[in-house]
Structure formats: structure tokens, C-alpha cells
Structure 1
Amino acid sequence: MSSFKRDKKEEEDSGGNPYQNLDKTIVLQEARYFNETPVNPRKCIYILSKILYLLNQGEKFTTKEATDVFFATTKLFQSKNVMLRRMVYLCIKELSTMAQDIIIVTSSLTKDMTGKEDLYRPAAIRALCSITDSTMLQAIERYMKQAIVDKNPAVSSAALVSALHLSSSAPDLVRRWVNEAQEAMNSDDPMVCYHALGLVAGLKKNDKLSTVKLITRYFGTSVKSPYMLCLLIRFAAQMEAMNSDDPMVCYHALGLVAGLKKNDKLSTVKLITRYFGTSVKSPYMLCLLIRFAAQMVETDDSDTSKRFIDFIEYCLRHKSEMVIYEAAHAIVNLKKPVRDLAPAVSVLQLFCGSSKASLRLAGARTLACLTAKRPTAVAACTVDLENLISDPNRSVATLAVTTLLATGAESSIDRLMKQISSFVSEISDEFKIIVVKAIRRLCTKFPRKHQSIVAFLAGMLRDEGGLEFKAAIADAIIEIVEENPDAKETGLAHLCEFIEDCEHSALAVRILHLLGREGPKSRQPSRYIRFIYNRVILESGPVRAAAVSAVAQFGAQRPEMLPNIKVLLSRCELDDEDEVRDRAIFYNAVLDTGDQQLINDYIINVVKLNPIQLEKALREHIATKPDETFDIMSVPTEELNEDKEDIVEVEVKKPTQMSTEEMYNEMLSQIPGIERLGPIFKRAQVVELTEPETEYTVRLYKHTFARHIILQFECVNTLNDQQLEQVHVRLETPPEYNLLSIVPCQKLVFNKPDSVFVVVEFPSAYLDSLGTFGATLEFVVRDCDPNTGNPDPGEGYADSYPLEEFDINCADQIKTRTAAEDFEETWECAANSPEASDTFALPYNDIEEAGKAVCRHLALPNEAVSGDAIKEIKGCGIFRGGAPVLMKAKLVAINVGVTMKLAVRSPREDIAQLLLSAIG
């Protein structure tokens, strides 16, 4: 190392060029060393460097001198040194224009070009193409085609550049390589794409139509190569594509230019405003301008956005129907409020009366979308939409019906039902399901019309149709029954009649489950027993088993019917099906005890377990602890997800995706030893640990087990010029917690989320399980190319990033649900259990907000709050480990805030105290 430093210093001190005083004669004499055997590669490289320096400085070699050096250089092919071989290729290229009989090295170069050594092949291709004339090209044509599509980017790029040079001397021959060059344009390597595009465009430079096709081929696509994009821009500029007489060329040219300027807001504004008030020939280009203008309205809060809105409204008066529709569609879909929707709605209304089916579909579809946001704005189109009910295009007719159902008044419902009754029988099941969903929303909007709506749905149940269609109707009636108490008797009666002839077992099971849950609460529960017991006599095994469970519900909730129910269950004990017999025996045994708590837990309010987690827990139990008793209470319960509001339009079926549960299980499976933690108990809601616009964003997911919690830190690197490696989180834990292991993220690339997992053990005492954690993200930073994402050479440097503190509280450790109707009875049954109670002064002026805050701390849903002046909160749940919990609170608004009295009952007194401390 010291000698290296000394030589470097001497070089700096001299400040000269080591090749400055070279003499050509001396260098030519030194070249004779190439004939020695064996040769010293390092010495040969030095001599070749001198020759190349002289050639590049303009030194003139005679033909004899060049030929002698050329043939002396070819003797170096005997060396296997990589650097020397590449210097030989360079010398051959430079001497090929001066020496004679250079064709003699063709075989050696061809051998290297087709060999297995990738370091030789690119330089060999360049040298070979420089010495080969047009008469010899056909001999290497096959090899050149293979090299152009080679997997090695350096080989492919060398072949493409060489072909571009050869196209001037042998254009007809190189033109036969276009197919291979076009295939190379799809390469993942940016430089290969660039060179391939240059070759193809060079071969087609005299063909304007082919050049236009070549450029427009990549408009609207994601071109990975920035070099290729730069070349496309040059070609597009040369062709003045945005001023072309061809409408499609204008459209694609604008798309390319706008795509390249998408991150430059000022340039985008200039691009759009450039065409305001001008006569744009291309309607496609105008449509694209309208879309860009709509995007700018959404993102620009300044007065400039008014110009864009004026431009879109101006386009409503264009002669092209395409432009008019695009402008109307943009206006009605703006998230920002528009002063007047009437012009756009008027245009859509005219489209609904058009003779073209495409315009009618466009108008009806856009009005249907507008109905979800501004139903009053669509009211003026009622007559036109009613005319579309009989439209021969079923998509148009379905959209008209669903829009009318969403915008109709309560007084027009009966008339609408009569209008669509004949229409429904003529459409396919797919469209019928859309209509059923629209009718379902109509009943939510006008609950007093439930009788006519349910009767109409029941009539559709009796029509021909598949399982999906019948299930949609049954689901709609079931939802109406659950939401509207007045519709309960009517809905249950129609469902009872339907299961008499129902041919789908799965649907019959769902309806029987509903009858068992809602039937005992009706005014005349005995009327449903006959329909249910008929299923025991006439149906298949699964339906009979569901009927037994439904019958048991009546015996559990209606004591006056218990003797008759026991007789029916006794008959079912003789059934041929094991499942039916077992259920009947089990329910009879539970009802014989007379224990109301037992009946409630095992018949009325049975906990619904998550089936995915139940299967996983059973498999783990069999694999790890087959001799121990399985604790079913440790399995997470099934969580109901609220469905999003359906948009009134023809739906497109989405591909089946992995469920959230399966996705989490797959991610956690990479943690070593996770099977020893047992089944997962609960997953808490996400916690943001960074601000949204920071260079690194981190979100926390908590996965709770009986005695452990896994903290999943999902990290996103938003810097495209950095790659993070060995990413982990340093935790500052409360002293009672025990940090067991950390699973780091090995590599975090730009904009691709990945996770760090930390396994922490809960304290042995429940009361110590509330705590605040500090966290710091630590990693190694490596700079990388923003375009390719490839990291620069080197080891990088260590860095850290502070994260927000987070808490582990009661809500992370308990699964709760809203109390059932018999909560008071359950509360009294638990009178002997330990109880903890206290009175709290809550820092809220609004009693509604106070109730929601308490539910948030206790992990209860907001539906647990009831009452007006005095709010009551009732709920129950299971703490990690399986201990049941009952909670009851009363909130009263006073002058300076809200006062609450909270009582908690549980077999574990420390858990009850813990829930109180969560509030305090």
C-alpha cells in the first residue's frame, strides 16, 4: 500500500502524460515481443496501449507497418487473459482500415463471437463487423441474428450497434434482421431497447407510415428505458406528430408528451392551455386534453382551475359526439363541486334518446354513476330513462331501471314495480342480480314501502333462475327483515313458502338459520315450526341438520313451546344422518338441564369462530400438543366486514384474490418458531408511525397471541435513488416486556413495501401489559441508479430514522362484541364473579364523542352505545387466554363535561381492573 501511495504521488508531481513522448519506431520494435512464447499479458497490454494512443493521436502508419503490427497482434489470440484479449479486439478494429489481408482473423473472431465467454463476445462482434465487407456478411448473418436477441445485454447491444453501422454499406442484408431487432426492443435492459429502436428507425427512416407506426406503438405503454424514450421524443418532434392531419397520431403524440411531463405541473398546464381557443383537428386529442384538464381541476386549488372548467364546458358544444360525451363525463365525475351540472346532464339526456346504442349506453351509464352522488340532478331525466326500460339493448335497459329505482320518489314505487315486472323476465340472471340490489337499496330509502317491495322480490323468487340469482333475492329479503322490524312477518312468510320448493341446499340452510334466529321473536312463533320440521322429513342431510338447530332455537327462547320441541328433537334422534342425530341429542341434553346460562352459550348466542383460524389452530394443536385438551376459546371469532355501497351500474366481476387472513398468515409464516406461539388471538387496526409525505413511511400491525404479540412494521422506501439493506427496528420496551426476536427486512427497494417483524412476550401479570414503546428504524443505505434501481458498488453506510411512539393497550388484547338482547340476564348470572367498578370524569363536552371514545378504549363497536340523554354502553368479550368479560357503563352529561360509571365483571379480577385502568 505504501508503494502504491508513493507511485501515485510521483505521478501527481510529474503532472505529465506517460505516453507523451512516444516514438513510433520504438513502439513498432516493441510490438515484435508479441511473437514470443509465452507472452507477458501485462507487458503486451502496455504495448497495445501505446499503439492505440498513437493511432488516436493521428499518427500515420504505412500499409506495411500496419500489416506487420496487425499480424503480430493476431499472435496474441493464444493468450487467455481477458484484458489482453479485449485490447487485441480494439487494435484489430483500428488497424483494419490500414492493414492488408485482415480477413485472416475472421475465423478467430467468429469463434470468440459464438463462444461461451461473455467477456469476449461483445468486443469480438464489434471487431468482426468492422473488418467484414458486404460479400462476407452472409457468412456471419446467422450469428448476428442470434447475437441481437442474446440474453446478455452487452452482446445484444454490440450486435445492434454493429448492425446500425453495417446498414450504410449493406442495407438490404441488415433489413432482414428487423424482426430480431423488434424483439430486442422488448428487452428489460434500457440500452438494448435504445439501440434496437435506433436500428429499426434507421432502417425505416424513408418510410413515413412505418415510422409513425413505430412511434405510436409505444404511446400509452410503460417504456422502461429512458434512452428509448428520448429517441421516441426526437422522432415524434421530427414528424411534428401533434400537428399531424391524422387524428390518431395527434392523440398518441399528446399522450406521449403529457406522459413525459406528468411530474412537471407547470409544463402540463402550458401543454393544455396551448390548445385553448384553437381549432384542434383531432377529436381524440381533444378528449385527452379534457381528461388532463379534469385532472388539473382536481389537483389545483388556485383560480387557474376555473379556466380548465371553462374549457371543458366549452367542449360540450363541440360537433364531435365523442368530445361532447367526454366533456359531460368529466364534469359529472369531478370531485370538486361544480356550479351547474345542468348543461352536462342535458347532454346525457339527449344521448339517452339517441338512435345509436353506444350513445344510449354511455348516457345511461354516466347518469347511473351520477345518481350515487347527486340523485336530484338526475330527476329531470326520469321520462327519458323510463323510455329506455323497453330498450332492445339489455345493458341500457338495466341501467335505466337501476337509475330510476335510485332516483324515484316514494309515490312512484308501485308504478315502477309494474313497469319493470315484464322487463325482469326478459333479462339474464346477471342483469337480474343488479336489479335486485337496486331494489334492496330502495327499501332502505323508503322503509314504509316494504310490503310491495318484499312481495315483488318474492315473486322473482318463484321465477326461473340459478343459485346466484336466487341467493341475491334471498339475501335482499333477509337484510330487509333484519333492518326493518315492520317487514319481519312479511319477509319470513315469503321465505317459508320459498323453502318448500327450494332446490338449493345452501340457500335453504341460510333461510333456516334466519328462521331460527328471528322466528322465536315474532308474534306467532308456532306458525314457523311446520315449515321447519317439514325440512327434517323431506330434505337432504345438511338441510335436516340446519332444521334441527332452528327448532332448538324455539325451545331455548320460548318456554311455552319447550315440551313440543323436545318431542320433535326426540324424533330427530332416530335420523339416519350422524350430524342430525348428534345435534338433536346435544340440544335435548342442553335443554334438559334448564340452566339458562348453558342454553344461552350453546344454543342462543353461540360464538362464531373464524373457520380459517379454527382449521389452522386444530392442525397446530394436533401437530404440537395432541395429548392436551384443545381450548376452542383461543380461536379468533369471525369478524363481519361491512359491505361498501354498490355503484348503480353494470358490474364487472373481479378476479378472486387472496383473503386478508391468508395474506397475513403467509407473511407471519416466515418468522422462525411462530408455531410455538399457538393460534393467533386478534389483529389490531393499523397505526401510522410516520407522516404520509416523509422519505420512509412505516405502518404498524399488531398480531396478538395468548402470551405474545408480534409487531409488524410495514416499511416503504419513497426515495428512488436509495436502496435500504438490513432494515430492522430497535425497540425501547417497558421493563415488564421481554423482546424475543427480530426478523429484519434484507432489502427495501423503491416504492415496494416490505416488513420487519418483532416478537415480544407479554408480562406475566395482566396489569403490567399496558405500556408505551419507542421505535427507531435502522438500516444500511446504498445509493442506486434512479432509472434502473441497480445499487452502486460499495458497502453503503449505516443510518437510522426515528418513529412515533405507540402503545399496547386493552383494545389490543380483547375481542368484544355488542351485547345481545338478553344481556341483563347474562349480567345477573355473572353476579358471583369478581366485579370492578369506578366513576370517571371524561374530558368531553359532547356525550356522543365520549361514548365513542370509551368504545374505542374498550375495543367495542360504536353500536354498543344506546340511549339519548343518558348513554348506556353494554358489551361482552374474551380476553387473551380465554377469560370472558362483561362490561356495563352509564354516561351522563354535566355542565363541565361527561361523567361515566363503568362496571366490569370477569372470573379474573385482574382483567377487570385492567379494563378500568384503560379508561383512567
Structure 2
Amino acid sequence: MSSFRRDKKEEEEGGGNPFQNLDKTTLLQEARYFNETPVNHRKCTLILTKILYLLNHGDQELTTQEATEIFFATTKLFQSKDVVLRRLVYLLIKELSSQAQDVIIVTSSLTKDMTGKEDLYRAAAIRALCSITDSTMLQAIERYMKQAIVDKNPAVSSAALVSALHLSATVPDLVRRWANEAQEAIMSDNMMVSYHALGVVVGSRRNDRLSTVKLITKLAKSSLRTPYGVCLLIRHAAKLAEEDGNDASDVYIDFIESCLRHKSEIVVYEAAHAIVNLRKSARDLAQAVSVLQIFCGSSKATLRLAGARTLAKLTAKHPNAVAACAVDLENLISDPNRSVATLAVTTLLATGAESSIDRLMKQISTFMSEISDEFKIVVVRAIKRLCTKYPRKHQSLAAFLAGMLRDEGGLEYKTAIADAIIALVEENPDAKETGLAHLCEFIEDCEHTSLAVRILHVLGREGPKARQPSRYIRFIYNRVILESGPVRAAAVSAVARFGAARPELMPNISVLLARCTVDDDDEVRDRAIYYSAILESGDKDLVDEYILNVPKPNPVLLEKALRDHIANTPNSPFDIDTIPVLAEAVEVKETPAEIEQRKPAAVSREEQYADQLNVIPGIEKIGPPFKTCETVDLTEAETEYRIRCVKHVFARHLVLQFECLNTLSDQLLEKVHVRLEPPAGYQLLGEVACNELPYDKQGSVFLLLQFPDNPMETLGSFGATLEFNVRDCDPTTGEPEPGEGYADSYPLEEVTIGCAEQMRAKAMTDDWEATWERAASAAEACDTFGLSQNDVGEAAATVCEYLGWPKSSISGDAVKEIRGGGMWRGGVPVLVRAKLAAAGGAVTMQLTARSPREDIATVLLAAIG
């Protein structure tokens, strides 16, 4: 009995999760109870709850057979009249629809519930039915869906509208036919029905701009009953205002500004938020800032948070507009909601003077321990921007960051602090020693392997540039003695960079690397032996290429290329230079004091199109893609057929991918292909046509060509014509009319292939001059050109565009110099140097190219000439 009482007490105090020890096998056996008659609704409800929990929270995934068994057992529960049980049945049908087989069998039962008199069943039945029914079966229930949309019961109407919103992603043509009923539901007295109906109507017109403009203009003049609908209307009006010119957008902006006087707070905030994100001039922000200022003084914490957060975002573009709210933001520093206080302080830091920084930093330190990591990261980002804005304050700011680094926190929080200190080290030479010292101190107790590896990489890159580089070697070598395998391997790489960049340290570095050659970890030993051999060779080219400036191939494409190589040509050597390098992360300006949502990892263009290229027969035999160029429009945006070209460059081959979009709802295009007129020397090896191109669905046509052997012949333009067979369609149903249709063609703009498409630029290092001198023995081509531009800066940018170099390659003021380096397709290195000067109203350029292949160096000059 004592044991029983103890368990009861634990249950009263909250206890544990009663479902945490669920077993899939036991649940499959319990599901057989659904077959018994009569149905015990209480027991079945508990079993269904367990299954739903397992599907949503458990780590035991159901197989297709198991899901099908549970699904068919669940269908026996339709005989029960218990409301709770039936609603759980609908939920389970939705959950199992993607895993079980033959779920379509319950369509008749769901249709019966959908059209029945029991309103408690109808809404849930509509949602379940639309989640399991395919596009062909949906037409059978279309009449019922239209009736449900205009149903007097708001739950039923809203369920039908939300289901239509979900279906618009898969069968937009079918949902478009329900727009009239949805438009009628916009005027419903129920707020949610009106809101969902507006979403359906706007979604059905997303590809018809004129129709969307008419709808937004009409509804803006009427008074919608739902504040949620008005918010949606504001978002679409803001989108139209951004797309239109200044004069045409006045109508939408006037509507948004009128919403600042709406009786609903959510509408007022949405309007202010839209204006803040839309307007370009601070003069036009006065009304929105006034509203946000009032929010900051509200008694509601949600409004204070909304006002402070939006003002924080506004500081990125218009800090002067936010400066007027300084008094209100000062009052929020002591706000009991620490999230609001954090936003207020970080906004004041972004807009305040240098003299107020120390005072604000003291106020931050008083509540840092009380806020979550999410808002601590906001503070860190604000301090990071202060380091850039006020470089003379680096000592106090770095000390504050170091103190935060020693406090408790998760990986994301510590990474944000490390990023701030690393940015300080890289941007401010005076702060290099201080920042590196703080990083060295941190890695002594760093518990996150990935962060320790990152900091060791920074120490290896920035440490050799310091005044006393030897002081950092001790901290790095301590990691070899004390840390795990990955950290020890990173420490070996960092030590090797010291030896490569500072020859005077080589004796000590050699000893340290020799000790690492007997490490227990294979990776550590291999790196130590590898770097020791390179450093002891004394070859500057080897040291530069394999230690100091190592290209990083894209890991996804490298894996794919290795698999193809092993499958097709395992006996031939693998050339890693043909793999695209990992694109450097472009730093995006962060919004001050804005909590950013987690974004998906950036994916290169080569990775985006890798799967699409697999439709080309034999594509795996021509090697990995060297470069995927940016998309080029071959038609105007307003034309009936929108065609874009993507050029995929391989070592010896070229793939032209034509992305086609049919914007005519009364036409179906079949047998779509492109007739190409390639320049002399190109060989057309094959084409993959697009069999069918319905309205508003993108398809692609692929053409595989082989480059000419002579690089000079690769420069040129391709004439292109789109050819297809047209079948007329019913615009409402999308069904093609009987018959074979008729042939038609559509001229496209020319596709140009130049040097930029065949060149992959490489980031230049600080020792570019030494690299240029080491290439003195390579083949060289040199010429002088008179350029058509009058401005030397514009001329330099145009030359970089022709050659495929980034604009960061340009330096100088009166006399511009271009220093570029890269790789020609097939792995041929290239260096380019150009000097441009303006004289007599014209720009003269001397261009020199060096490469192991003279024909490649010559073709670079031909691209300019």
C-alpha cells in the first residue's frame, strides 16, 4: 500500500509522461480490439490516443504494412456514435494517409459524414477526406465542397476553405473553380470564415496580377469584418506597392496608412510593420513610428514587445527615425519582461552616441542572467555591430564579450559570441591581440568540439599575422595533449599554418609535428606526417597550395563525383580540380536586435540542379559539373511563354537547360523541344524534350553538347527556337479538347557562351604578388586595348564581367588594377592582371594572362577584343 500511495502522490505532483514507454508491438496487438462488437468507446479512445502519440512523438516508425493494418482496424470504428472517438478516427486517418495503402477505401464513409446532418462530424470529415483524396477523386466531391464553403455552420465552412488552401498547392486548377463560393464567404459574419475565404480567393488569382489588383482595390474600399482578413489585405497591398512604381503605389499606401487608425490593435501593428518595411524615406515613417511609440508605453506586454522589436528592426535603415523614441525606450530598460528590456537596450545601443555605451552596457549586465539564450544572442549581435561602429571601444566591448563567453550557455549562444570576437579580430587590427587572447582562454575550457575546431582554425589563420605569434602556439598545442581526436587534428592543421607563414618558427613546429606522428588517432597522425613532409620540402608553391591557400571542394558534389567515378572509370585518376569549390558565405547585413528565424543551409547552384540533370542519359559518364551559371531570361516577363536558360558547364561538355512556363490557361503544350543553331565546332549529342507542359507548371528541356577542342571556337552565340504541339483546353477545367492539336514555334533570344561561363573564379590571397611571380614561367599572353567606356570604374567592372571575376578583384582609384585568378574548365589554372587608365576621354587597358596552356591565356584576351 505504501508503494501505491507514493505513486499516487507523484501523479498528483505532475508525475511522468504516461505514454513515454509505449511499445509499437503492444499497440499493434491492442489495435485488434477495434474489431470487437459492441465498440467500447472509452478503451478505443485510449488506444487511438496512444497511436497518435506514437506517430507524432515516438521514435518507432511504422512500416507500410503496420500502418495499413492499423488503418483498416480503425475503419471499423465508424460504427460508433461517440463524438470524441469519431474525431480521433478522423485524426488518425489523416496521420496514416501518407503511410498506409488503399486509404481511399474510406472515401464513401467520409463523404457520408461530410454530407450528413451531424455538424460535429462534418468539419473533421472534410479535413480527413481532402487529405486522402487524389485529384481524380476530388472532382466527385466538388459539388459537396462548394456547398460546404457556403455552409451556415462556420466550423464546416472554415474546414472546407482551409482544405481548399492546402489543395491549391497540388490541384490549383480545381480550387480555382471554387473561387466564386469563396468570394461569397468573404462577407461572412464569422471572422475566421472571412479570413480563410480571402486566402483562398487571393491564392486562386496569384498568377493573374490584374485580377489580384482589382480584388485588393475593391476590398480596400469595403470594410471587412475580420481583423485577420484586413491584416492579410495589408500584406498583399504592401506587396503590390513594392512591385508598382511610385505613382501607382499611392493607392495601396493610402490604404495601409488608413489602417493605422483601425480599432483593432493587430491591424494597427500590421499596418505599421508594413510601412516600416516598405518605405524608403524616413520622412514618410512618422505615422508608423508614432504608433510604435504608443505601443512601447502600453500596459500590455505583447504590444510593448511588438513595438520595441519593430523599432529595433527599423534602426537598420533609419536610425534617426528611431532616435526620437529614445525616452520611451529608456523607460523599457527596467521593464519586467526581460525580452522587451533586451530589445530596448540593444536598440538604444544601435542609435545612441559613443558616450552612452558604457552606461547601457552596465544596465545590460544587470539582467543578462535572467534572459534566455535567444535574447542573449540579440545582445551579442548588437555588441558585434558596436565593435564595427566604434572601433575605439574595442577594449571594453571585447572584455564584455569575454565575460559572456565564460558564463553558462548553449552552443548557439557561445558560437554567436565567438563570431563577434572573430569579426573584431578580422576587422580591427588594434583588437587582434586582445581578441585572440580571449579566444585562447576560451578554448582551454570549451566543451563544444565544433566551436573549438572553428577557433583553432581562426588562430591558425590570424595568429601568424600577430606581433608575437609564438605565444599562441602553446594554447594550440595544449589541445593536442588534452582534447578529443577532431580537436587534436584541427590543432595540428593550425600549428602547420604557423610553420608555413613564419619560417623562423619552423624548428619548433617540426618538433611539435613529429610528436603528433605517434598519436593514437589516425587523422591526427596522417595530418602530422602530411604537413611535416610539405614543410620540410621547402617548396613555396607546395606550401601555398596545400597549407596556406587550400581550395575547399563542395562536399556534396565531391561525393557524387566520386561515386560516378568509381562506377564508370575506376581505373583512371580522379581530378579533384574539376569539382566546384565551396562558395564563400556572403555576409548578410543583420537586422539590429532582430531575433532571426533558423534558415536552411545555403545550397550552391550546382547542388540545386544536380538531381534535375540525372534525366539526361549518360550524364554520369561526362564527370562532375564544373560550373552552373546564373539563369538567363530568353523571353520578356509578360509573354505567353516564359523561357529561361541555365548553362551547366562540364570539363568537355555543355548542358543547356531551358526552363519553360506556360502562362496560357487555355493551352496544353506537348512534345516541347528547342531547335538550336550552335556555332561551328560544337557537337549536339542529345536532347531530352518535355513531353507535356500544362498551364502554370514548369518543365525543362535539356540539350547536351560537346565543346570544340579549340578554346577560341567555344566563344559564340546559339540561335534558339522553341517548338511544340498545341492543344486547346477548357480554361475552367483544364481538360484538353479531343484531337492532335497543331504545331507551333516561338523564337527565343540567343544564348551566349563566353569566358565567364567557362571560368571559375578563385578568391585572391594577400600574397597575390608572390603567386603572380611564381607563375612567371607559364605561358603568357599580353595586349593593350582601347575600351568603349568613358569611366574607368565602369570599364573595370565590365572587364570583370567578361572574364568571370568578382568586382572585389578591382583595386585603385585613378588607375584601376584587376588581379584575378581562377580555373578554366578541365582544371587549368589561370592568372590575370589588368591595368586601366583614363586619358583623353577614353579608357586604355593593358591585359596580361598567364596559364600553363597558351591557348587558354590567348582566349581570355579574345574575350575582351
Q: Distance in 2 between matches of 1:733 and 1:875?
A: 30
How far did residue 625 of structure 1 move?
2.3
Q: Secondary structure at the match of 1:626?
A: coil
Q: Which residue of structure 1 aligns with residue 402 of structure 2?
A: 458
Q: Partner amino acid for 2:755?
A: C
1:89-128 mapped onto 2 (5 Å cutoff): none
Q: Give deviations 1:315-363, integer Å, cap 9, x for gaps.
A: 5445543443344334333346575422321221121121111211221
Q: Partner amino acid for 1:767?
A: M
* Equivalent pair of 1:724/1:748 in contact (CA under 8 Å): yes
Q: Distance in 1 between matches of 2:441 and 2:763?
A: 32
Is 1:195 the counterpart of 2:143 in the alignment?
yes
Q: Distance in 1 between matches of 2:120 and 2:456?
A: 74
Q: Secondary structure at the match of 1:805?
A: strand
Q: Which residue of structure 1 aligns with residue 842 of structure 2?
A: 897
Q: Which residue of structure 2 aligns with residue 760 of structure 1?
A: 705
Q: Distance in 1 between matches of 2:834 and 2:124?
A: 77
- Structure 1 unpaired stretches of 5+: 1-148, 165-170
1:623-702 mapped onto 2 (5 Å cutoff): 623-648=567-592, 649-654=594-599, 660-702=605-647
Q: Distance in 1 between matches of 2:381 and 2:609?
A: 32
Q: Distance in 1 between matches of 2:269 and 2:120?
A: 45
Q: Which residue of structure 2 aligns with residue 499 of structure 1?
A: 443
Aligned equivalent of 1:485, options 413, 429, 432? 429
Q: Secondary structure at the match of 2:316?
A: helix
Distance 1:377 1:733, change over 3 A: same
* Equivalent pair of 2:220/2:233 in contact (CA under 8 Å): no
Q: Distance in 2 between matches of 1:200 and 1:627?
A: 66
Q: Which residue of structure 2 aligns with residue 80 of structure 1?
A: none
Is 1:543 the counterpart of 2:491 in the alignment?
no
Q: Give deviations 1:44-88, integer Å, cap 9, x for gaps.
A: xxxxxxxxxxxxxxxxxxxxxxxxxxxxxxxxxxxxxxxxxxxxx
Q: Distance in 1 between matches of 2:847 and 2:817?
A: 10
1:282-361 mapped onto 2 (5 Å cutoff): 294=238, 297-298=241-242, 306=250, 309-310=253-254, 312-335=256-279, 337=281, 339-361=283-305
* Equivalent pair of 2:669/2:694 in contact (CA under 8 Å): yes
Is 1:438 the counterpart of 2:382 in the alignment?
yes
Q: Which residue of structure 2 aligns with residue 16 of structure 1?
A: none
Q: Distance in 2 between matches of 1:498 and 1:670?
A: 50
How far did residue 444 of structure 1 move?
2.8
Q: Distance in 2 between matches of 1:695 and 1:552?
A: 60
How far did residue 252 of structure 1 move?
6.8
Q: Which residue of structure 2 aligns with residue 371 of structure 1?
A: 315
Q: Secondary structure at the match of 2:737?
A: coil
Distance 1:738 1:296, change over 3 A: closer
How far did residue 666 of structure 1 move?
0.8
Q: Secondary structure at the match of 1:641?
A: coil
Q: Which residue of structure 2 aligns with residue 730 of structure 1?
A: 675
Q: Partner amino acid for 2:556?
A: I
Q: Which residue of structure 2 aligns with residue 603 of structure 1?
A: 547
* Equivalent pair of 2:374/2:595 in contact (CA under 8 Å): no
* Equivalent pair of 1:190/1:226 in contact (CA under 8 Å): no
* Equivalent pair of 2:145/2:160 in contact (CA under 8 Å): no
Q: Which residue of structure 2 aligns with residue 230 of structure 1?
A: 180
Q: Distance in 2 between matches of 1:722 and 1:567?
A: 75
Q: Secondary structure at the match of 1:556?
A: helix
Q: Give deviations 1:647-700, integer Å, cap 9, x for gaps.
A: 342333346797654332111112110111012222222222111221111221
Q: Give deviations 1:106-162, integer Å, cap 9, x for gaps.
A: xxxxxxxxxxxxxxxxxxxxxxxxxxxxxxxxxxxxxxxxxxx99799x989x99xx
Q: Secondary structure at the match of 1:503?
A: coil
Q: Distance in 2 between matches of 1:257 and 1:570?
A: 72
Q: Which has the higher contact order (CA 8 A, sep 6+)?
A: 2
1:6-155 mapped onto 2 (5 Å cutoff): none
Identity %: 60
* Equivalent pair of 1:193/1:228 in contact (CA under 8 Å): no
* Equivalent pair of 1:194/1:225 in contact (CA under 8 Å): no
How far did residue 489 of structure 1 move?
1.8
- Structure 2 unpaired stretches of 5+: 1-101, 169-173
Distance 1:683 1:480, change over 3 A: farther
Distance 1:498 1:225, change over 3 A: closer
Q: Which residue of structure 2 aligns with residue 516 of structure 1?
A: 460
Using structure 1 for the length normalisation, give the TM-score: 0.74
Q: Give deviations 1:405-440, integer Å, cap 9, x for gaps.
A: 332333322222222123322222222223322322
Q: Partner amino acid for 2:644?
A: R
Q: Distance in 2 between matches of 1:603 and 1:537?
A: 22
Is 1:864 the counterpart of 2:814 in the alignment?
no
Aligned equivalent of 1:914, options 856, 859, 865? 859
Is 1:418 the counterpart of 2:362 in the alignment?
yes
Q: Distance in 1 between matches of 2:118 and 2:520?
A: 83
* Equivalent pair of 2:179/2:201 in contact (CA under 8 Å): no
* Equivalent pair of 1:508/1:543 in contact (CA under 8 Å): yes
Number of residue equivalences: 747
Is 1:836 the counterpart of 2:786 in the alignment?
no
Q: Distance in 2 between matches of 1:319 and 1:304?
A: 27
Distance 1:505 1:200, change over 3 A: closer
Distance 1:213 1:554, change over 3 A: closer
How far did residue 713 of structure 1 move?
1.3
Q: Partner amino acid for 2:448?
A: H
Q: Partner amino acid for 2:335?
A: D
How far did residue 231 of structure 1 move?
4.5
* Equivalent pair of 1:194/1:227 in contact (CA under 8 Å): no
Q: Secondary structure at the match of 1:720?
A: coil
Q: Give deviations 1:185-214, integer Å, cap 9, x for gaps.
A: 886567544532576699x7xxxx63x554
Q: Distance in 1 between matches of 2:440 and 2:392?
A: 22
Q: Distance in 1 between matches of 2:653 and 2:353?
A: 56
Q: Partner amino acid for 2:635?
A: T
Distance 1:308 1:270, change over 3 A: closer
Distance 1:467 1:249, change over 3 A: closer
Q: Which residue of structure 1 aligns with residue 326 of structure 2?
A: 382
Q: Which has the larger Rg? A: 1
* Equivalent pair of 1:536/1:543 in contact (CA under 8 Å): yes
Deviates more, 1:677-686 or 1:330-339: 330-339
* Equivalent pair of 1:810/1:859 in contact (CA under 8 Å): yes
Distance 1:191 1:899, change over 3 A: same
Q: Partner amino acid for 2:829?
A: P
Q: Distance in 2 between matches of 1:300 and 1:875?
A: 39
Is 1:271 the counterpart of 2:213 in the alignment?
no
Using structure 2 for the length normalisation, give the TM-score: 0.79
Distance 1:915 1:747, change over 3 A: same
* Equivalent pair of 1:395/1:650 in contact (CA under 8 Å): no
Q: Secondary structure at the match of 1:703?
A: strand
Deviates more, 1:678-687 or 1:291-300: 291-300
* Equivalent pair of 2:148/2:157 in contact (CA under 8 Å): no
Q: Secondary structure at the match of 2:457?
A: helix
Q: Distance in 2 between matches of 1:542 and 1:311?
A: 58
1:577-616 mapped onto 2 (5 Å cutoff): 577-616=521-560
Report the RMSD for the aligned CA atoms in angstroms. Answer: 3.5
Q: Distance in 1 between matches of 2:183 and 2:454?
A: 61
